[in-house]
Amino acid sequence: MTTGHEVTSPIDGSTIATIELHDESSLDAVVARAVAAADRWRRTPPRERAALLFAVARRIREELDDIAVLETRNCGKLLADTRREVERAARCFEYYGGYADKVTGTVVPVGDGFHTYTTREPYGVVAGIVPWNAPFVFAAKKIAPALAFGNVSILKPALETPLTAMRLGELLDDCGAPPGVAQVVCGGPDVGRGLVADPRVDLVVFTGSDGAGRHVGATAAERLVPSALELGGKSPQLVFADADLDAAAAGVVEGFAGSCGQMCIAGSRLFVERSVHDEFVDRLVARVAALRVGDPRLASSQVGPQATAAQAAKTREYVADAKRSGRVLAETPLEVPDDLTAGNWVAPVAFADLPLDHRAVRDEIFGPVLSVAAFDDADEALALAHDTEFGLAAGLWTGDIGRAHRLASDLRVGTVWVNTYRILDDMVPFGGVGQSGYGRENGTEAPALYTWAKSVWVSVEPGVPQPYRKDPS
């Protein structure tokens, strides 16, 4: 372990905590503890595993306000958002606690002479790696299903925002998690690489950028170890003339400026049917101009800072480049108090007339930057939506239910929201295609991710010839 890493707040640049970081030797000990605990935890009855998850959910709710405040200080997200995310984390533990004893196999009727069935087996040691934009809820989403289905979990939060994930690890210990069953390791990319490359890790579940995801997937593939990669996005929002334009404008603004644009699902490419384009843009401009950037701990603020100084600098550079190539439709006033000027502040901005091959239109910026263009019909809207390497999510705004279902079917993305945006639930599978990754978390897909199928053949009539052999008589 190494000491002295300072965790700072994006709100004002102040130091929140100084923490220890894992190194190669301490990471080896972490994995060894997980391996030692894996077989016992696999054999622990599902209802006992569920009891631990329910206990953690209760403790999360008892500390909801404290965890939310810490998350806001560390990430810069609105306090209203972090409160919702902490509650969502508690529900996540409850959901998988309720799921723990409901993963069953099947009996396969192969014919006379055999009783053949399947079981679902946990992988063993699961490495979960989460990004800096929503560390607490992401930590819950990695740890809870792993433990529910009989795996042990090693979670690595981002170096910049580890504090609430560390607290979750403490809550698991307080609630009686056996040693080695749930561990949180802090460190930089070297620790993540060490986890993924460790031959004792049996499954890797990663959320992060497409660039990092490629390295994670390649390293896991070298060991022939399964992985799930939930990566970035450049999600389109399609607004048709028959949509409720006020509702669509509210959804579009929330979809690109919410969490200061730091969402893999950010709806950062807007396409509007030409006949209502100007009318809709007027609504959009008014909403963007009215946003209030400020201290995320205050109820009056609607947009907080970016989580890291590096991310804020990246967003500003993209905005400067886009201003040279396109036209600013609207930009939120950026006025913060003098005592917060050291924070990572950026203003939401919407652009028109950007070339479709401009990097601000192609790249995942992870900041509150929106590009706007028009389309003439549904075919063109679909083509524009698909003009990206990503395939995580899409928003569709229309009053035509038939069109809604047709386009929802045709859109090559993992999630489609119709007349809403940015709604998630542990019951609903989530993941992407293309450069947005592969594998699905949540819902009925979760057991398929965290367990593997085993087939068992039992001869019930010893001495009976095998089906593929001829009768020796």
pTM score of the predicted model = 0.94
Helix (H) or strand (E) run with residue 218 in it? helix 210-222
pLDDT beyond 60 at 374: yes
pLDDT at 466 over 80: no
Q: What is the pLDDT, as a whole number, of residue 95?
A: 98
Q: Is the pLDDT of residue 464 over 90?
A: no
Output the pLDDT for position 439. 97
- Dihedral of alpha carbons 250, 252, 253, 256, sign: positive
**Residue 113 pLDDT level (bands cut at 50, 70, 90):** confident
* Alpha-carbon gap, residue 195 to 187, rounded angstroms: 11
Within 302-438, strands assigned E span 327-331, 349-352, 369-375, 390-391, 393-397, 415-418, 433-434, 437-438
pLDDT number for residue 13? 95
- Please state which of the ranges 148-152, 354-358, 458-462 shows the lowest mean pLDDT: 458-462
Distance, in Å, from the CA atom of 418 to the CA atom of 396, rounded to the nearest integer, reads 5
- How buried is residue 92: exposed, middle or buried, by Cβ count under 10 Å (0-12/13-18/19+)? buried
> What is residue 291's predicted lDDT score, i.e. its pLDDT?
97
- Report pLDDT digits (tens) over 159-174: 999 999 999 999 999 9
Q: Which of 261, 56, 311 is nearest to 161 (CA)?
A: 311
DSSP category for residue 173:
H
pLDDT at 372 over 80: yes
What would the DSSP string read from start to end of 285-322? HHHHHH--B--TTSTT-SB---SSHHHHHHHHHHHHHH
Integer CA distances (angstroms), 173 to 140, 141, 155, 177, in order: 14, 17, 14, 5
> In this predicted model, what pLDDT tens digit does every residue of 254-291 receive, in sequence order?
999 999 999 999 999 999 999 999 999 999 999 999 99
What per-residue confidence (pLDDT) applies to 112? 84
**CA dihedral angle for residue 29, residue 31, residue 32, residue 36, rounded to 10 degrees:** 140
Of the candidate ranges 321-325, 328-332, 460-464, the one whose mean pLDDT is the lowest: 460-464
SS3 call for 348: coil
Rg (CA), the chain: 24
Burial class (CB in 10 A: 0-12, 13-18, 19+), 387: middle
Query: Would the pLDDT of 465 be above 90?
Result: no
Mean of the per-residue pLDDT values of the chain? 96
Tokens of 321: 């480049």
Residue with tokens 């190539």: 325
**DSSP per residue, 18-81:** EEEE--HHHHHHHHHHHHHHHHHHHHS-HHHHHHHHHHHHHHHHHTHHHHHHHHHHHH---HHH
If you average pLDDT over residues 335-339, what whole number do you get?
Answer: 88
In angstroms, the CA 396 to CA 404 distance is: 7
**What are the catalytic residues?**
230
- Domains of the chain and CATH, by start: 2-231+436-457 (3.40.605.10), 236-418 (3.40.309.10)
Q: What is the pLDDT of residues 250-262, one digit of tens each?
A: 999 999 999 999 9
| Percent over 90 (pLDDT), the chain | 94
Q: What is the pLDDT of residues 421-451, one digit of tens each?
A: 999 999 999 999 999 999 999 999 999 999 9
Q: Is the pLDDT of residue 195 over 60?
A: yes
203-249 tens-digit pLDDT: 999 999 999 999 999 999 999 999 999 999 999 999 999 999 999 99
What the block records as the tokens of 143 is 């740890």
Q: Contact, 242 vs 370, CB < 8 A?
A: no
Give me the pLDDT at residue 447, please: 97
